[in-house]
A and B are shown apart, each in its own frame.
Chain A
């Protein structure tokens, strides 16, 4: 038991700081409302849109894009229907009525972001994103970044190839993300929780917690629970 106490002490000295960071970051992530973190209330579902009756024939698509077609999707995009075509070169969109290739430029991205946005803010800037940052991890580049001036500094990301609003970020998420970084110990990308550092430390901290539970059995005496047990005895002897 003395050995376990010594081990608990030394594991606590070496790994205690990370254990404290795990509890604090875990507590903060439990505290921050995940609806606000995900920004789900800052975008709306698009308004219902009837498909036009005079659509360009799907057979004509093959001549309008370079290379063999791997997939096609006919879908609404804000105020019109588009063909989204996938080839080995990537994805592109065309107006489904005229067949005109559509380019999502800064003006189009601004319009799409504004149409999707729900809130008090207005767009202050629309910038191209060509390089991955913390806010765009896991997304397909290139993107447009639309910044809003609401209280939570909402940012919507619009895919430059498909025009879809693919991500939403805000200050609640940015704060949450710092605790997430501390929790998963991925200090550069904040993306992976399957790396040797965290597995090693988690093993040590698991022992810290388990040895603590074992020590509980030796740390309490009957007198510690006198306030409960004496009352119970009195009740029974009555």
Chain B
């Protein structure tokens, strides 16, 4: 069975197109669209391959943090949470255990703070020793603590998080780093080079080279639809690519 292939587009105006066969038109369309989007398409597939091949739990660094079994907290003799919350509307206080002692993590209108739940003494802002101790308590890796620094501004790899914040880096593959809130002693983020690499390929994938988070940017929208048409023209070209070869074989 052979489908009729028209060998000219009579309605087209220019001589070039008039004399062009359908396979050649398909090939030209695919060629020029691929010129426009080919490199980005390669970046999409390679970045996609990285994101699928390295498990997201590893990227998130779940293995960097110790998951201790929840321990019972003795509630007798604690300071009342209402006392440390202050008078701020919609404030909240969470009782948890840090470094073996019960603490209140208080969040309110003006910010967050940490209190000793037995004495009611404010523990924030955390000093270097406390940040060191918290990071060592949380870190599950084998490496020793390498650097501790207090950052006045959140660096790009934890963009949007409240500052000041303690950055604690450990020895080990892929530079494992824990970020400890100076206000509350909480673990705010965990980073390592596999995450940092993921962030770069994510940027390439969504083509937002500034904030790396806007999936609706115009460049991406134009590029993706160009890719759709380029891919569809490739499918169109496939029809001719295989038929022509079969005919050639028959002739031989």
The verdict on B151 contacting chain A, using a C-beta distance below 8 Å, is: no
The verdict on A174 contacting chain B, using a C-beta distance below 8 Å, is: no
A16 near B238: Cβ-Cβ < 8 Å: yes
The verdict on A212 contacting chain B, using a C-beta distance below 8 Å, is: yes
Known pairs A16-B234, A20-B235, A194-B56; A30 contacts B42 (CB<8 A): no
Best-buried of B44, B85, B206, B217 by chain A (most CB within 10 Å): B44
Q: How many residues of B contact A (CB 8 A)?
A: 58
Is chain A's interface secondary structure helix, strand, loop, or mixed overall?
Answer: helix
Nearest Cβ distance between residue A193 and chain B, in whole angstroms? 5
From B70-78, B127-135, B183-191, give the one contacting chain A: B70-78
Which listed residue, B45, B75, B225, B242, touches A209 by the CB 8 Å rule?
B45
**Complex: how many Å from CA A210 to CA B53?**
18
A-B contact count (CB 8 A): 165
Nearest Cβ distance between residue B73 and chain A, in whole angstroms? 6
Known pairs A24-B228, A206-B42; A199 contacts B49 (CB<8 A): yes
A30 near B95: Cβ-Cβ < 8 Å: no
A27 near B228: Cβ-Cβ < 8 Å: yes
Residue of A at shortest CB range from B51?
A: A193
**Complex: how many Å from CA A72 to CA B95?**
5
From A43-51, A127-135, A150-158, A229-237, give the one contacting chain B: A43-51
Which listed residue, A19, A29, A73, A198, touches B215 by the CB 8 Å rule?
A29
The verdict on B114 contacting chain A, using a C-beta distance below 8 Å, is: no
Instruction: Please indicate the chain A residues that have their CB under 8 angstroms from the CB of B51 in the complex.
Output: 193
B231 near A220: Cβ-Cβ < 8 Å: no
A27 near B225: Cβ-Cβ < 8 Å: yes
B48 near A202: Cβ-Cβ < 8 Å: yes
The verdict on B89 contacting chain A, using a C-beta distance below 8 Å, is: yes
Which listed residue, A12, A73, A74, A198, touches B238 by the CB 8 Å rule?
A12
The verdict on A190 contacting chain B, using a C-beta distance below 8 Å, is: no
Which listed residue, B52, B94, B227, touches A199 by the CB 8 Å rule?
B52
A193 near B242: Cβ-Cβ < 8 Å: no
A76 near B87: Cβ-Cβ < 8 Å: no
Instruction: Please indicate the chain B residues that have their CB under 8 angstroms from the CB of A194 in the complex.
Output: 52-56
The verdict on B81 contacting chain A, using a C-beta distance below 8 Å, is: yes
The verdict on B90 contacting chain A, using a C-beta distance below 8 Å, is: yes
A31 near B48: Cβ-Cβ < 8 Å: no
A13 near B75: Cβ-Cβ < 8 Å: no
**Complex: how many Å from CA A209 to CA B51?**
17
Known pairs A50-B87, A208-B45, A210-B42; A69 contacts B221 (CB<8 A): no
Instruction: Please indicate the chain A residues that have their CB under 8 angstroms from the CB of B54 in the complex.
Output: 194
**Complex: how many Å from CA A234 to CA B16?**
24
Known pairs A16-B234, A27-B228; A209 contacts B56 (CB<8 A): no
Can you sample 18 A-B contacts with CB below 8 Å? A16-B238, A20-B228, A20-B232, A23-B230, A29-B215, A50-B89, A51-B85, A58-B78, A58-B81, A58-B95, A62-B76, A68-B73, A72-B75, A75-B94, A194-B54, A203-B49, A206-B48, A215-B34
